[in-house]
Every structure is written in structure tokens, then in C-alpha cells.
Amino acid sequence: MNILRGFPVFPFLFTLLVCHTHSFSQKKVPGVAVPGKTIFFDDFNEDQLNRKNWNVVKTGNVVNNEQQAYVDSSLVLTLVKGEAAQGAENGALRIKPKYTQGFRSTKNASFDFISGRINTKGKVEFSYGRAEARIRITDGKGFWPAWWLLGGGDWPATGEIDIMEYIGENWTNAALHGQGYSGNTPFVERVPVGADSSVNNWHVYAVDWTAEEIDFSVDGKSFYKVSKPEIEKYGKWAYDSPKHLILNFALGGSYPAGVNKVTSPYPGLPEASVELIKTGKCQMLVDWVKITANP
């Protein structure tokens, strides 16, 4: 996600500002087995989002020409169980965009869609380790759900790690952004999706982050590694300071439109996708999120 954001904290250390261990201390945590200690786990098994860990974002300034306003509402952001969780045993986080023609944001901007974005800034932050989430997404051109990490300082110098982005093509992507390699970054890799690997199925999207390398994987299979020397050919290594977690569902905007060339009825968002939103068939489900310290 090419967004201005961030704040520097103490480097070279795991920093967990608020983390309630009851979520994972008494149960087996699912996911790819890796050495090290689980320092954060949320499987969204409560009745409401745990706001001791998560912030809910409300749209102020608009970035990337995105077509949604982020709101703090159960209309778009809720925890679901049973059939609605679609195979997430203990329940899931659901981000479900809605068509709301003429919605006015906090800055009185007009939007035809509302959606959800949450983060752990100031609550759960870490340096070095494995961050992973089990996610299931509705397929649709111009949908832009994402799972990523971001520092707390000025973007792009603060560093951004995009673990999973999907814009309705036959791939998902991972990317890195920092000073000298932001925006249309050279550090991006696509993972093809097909019948068996459809985003409509559950997948674990993960990153392993060390002081010298960043390694992206899907379902335990590494597909892209970037080293510190490779980054430093373009600019400063921006990955020695803590990052927080972000989950969001954007709609349309500059990235999808730049790929699919759709301009109507909304930039990057064709009519077929708008219809999926209007009929309540567009969502992102997150079974769980987990951070594991490096051994």
C-alpha cells in the first residue's frame, strides 16, 4: 500500500506495548511451525474486536485515489462465528465493504463505499520475527484487501512490508517500500493464483524478518527473499525499527486502476465488482494473526 504513514521506536528489540497472552498461552496456535516464542496471537474468538490490541481507523485524508471511506462500524467490521466464519473454527474477523452512495467522511468528502481498516500502532509492535495471518478473500477486480507491517515515522523512510496485497488479478503480491524504493518499488513479487490456490480459499500469508533479510511465503512456501545489501543499492535499509500490524480492505484506486485500466464506474473498480459489493458478496475473513519471535 503506497500510503504516507509512521514513528521510530527503539531498534533491534522486540517491542510489545500491549499484548494479552491469554489468547494463546492455553491453546495450540495454528500455522506453520517455526522455532521461537509466540509473542502475539489473536484468533478473533471473542464477541467484539479486542481494542486493547487493535485500533479502528476512520478516514481523514484520502490516499491512492481509493474509493472507500474507512469507518468504525459493525456494518463493515465485525467478528463472526459458525457458518459466517466459513471454516474458521473459533470465529473470524470480517471486513465487508458496503455501498453507501454519498457517504460523508470526517472531512466532509463524499464516498459511495465504506470499509474497514485496523492496526496495532502503539499497542502491538515488534522488530524481527515472523508475522503471519490466515486469510480468505472474495475474488473481484479492483478489490484491494491487504495484510502488512508499517513503522511509526514518516513514510517511506519508516519502512513498509506488504505481506499480501490482492487487486483482483490472477496473483497476490508482496512488496517493500523505503526511502529510494517507494511507490512503484523494484522490490515486489507476484504469486500466481489458480483453481487450487484461489484467494477464495484459506491461505497463510507470512513474512520472516531478520536484521539481514526479509523472506515472504504463502502456506509455508517461500517465494521471495530480499537481503539488506540488495535494498542498500537503492536506499537505506528501513527495517531496524519496530513495525505494527495492519489489515484493511480498500476499493479501487491508483494501484488497481494502473493494472486493470478500469476508469468507470470508479477508478480501478468495474461494474461487476460494484455489484458484488451491493449484493453483500464482498469480504475479507481473517481466521487468526500471529507474531513469533526469532529463535
How do residues 23-45 score in pLDDT, each as one tens digit? 333 344 455 545 689 999 999 99
Contact by Cβ (8 Å): 99, 274: yes
Peptide bond preceding 156: is omega within 30 degrees of 0, i.e. cis? yes
The answer, yes or no, to whether residue 17 has pLDDT greater than 60, is no
Question: Torsion-angle region of residue 30: left (phi > 0), alpha (psi -120 to 50) or beta?
Answer: beta
Name the residue type at position 46. Answer: E
Residue 79, beta-bridge partner list: 93
Question: Torsion-angle region of residue 253: left (phi > 0), alpha (psi -120 to 50) or beta?
Answer: left
Give pLDDT, residue 195.
76
Strands 110-115 and 68-70: parallel
Q: Which domains does the chain have, with CATH numbers?
A: 21-292 (2.60.120.200)
CA distance 236 to 179: 6
Contact by Cβ (8 Å): 103, 84: no
**Ramachandran angles phi, psi of 110, nearest 5°:** -100, 135
User: Higher model confidence: residue 107 or residue 75?
Assistant: 75
- pLDDT band of residue 10 (cuts 50, 70, 90) is very low
Q: State the residue for C-alpha cell 480501478.
A: 268
Contact by Cβ (8 Å): 162, 177: yes
Mean pLDDT of the chain: 90
Give pLDDT, residue 294.
87
Contact by Cβ (8 Å): 181, 2: no
pTM: 0.89
Rounded to a whole number, what is the distance in angstroms from the first to the last CA of the chain? Answer: 29
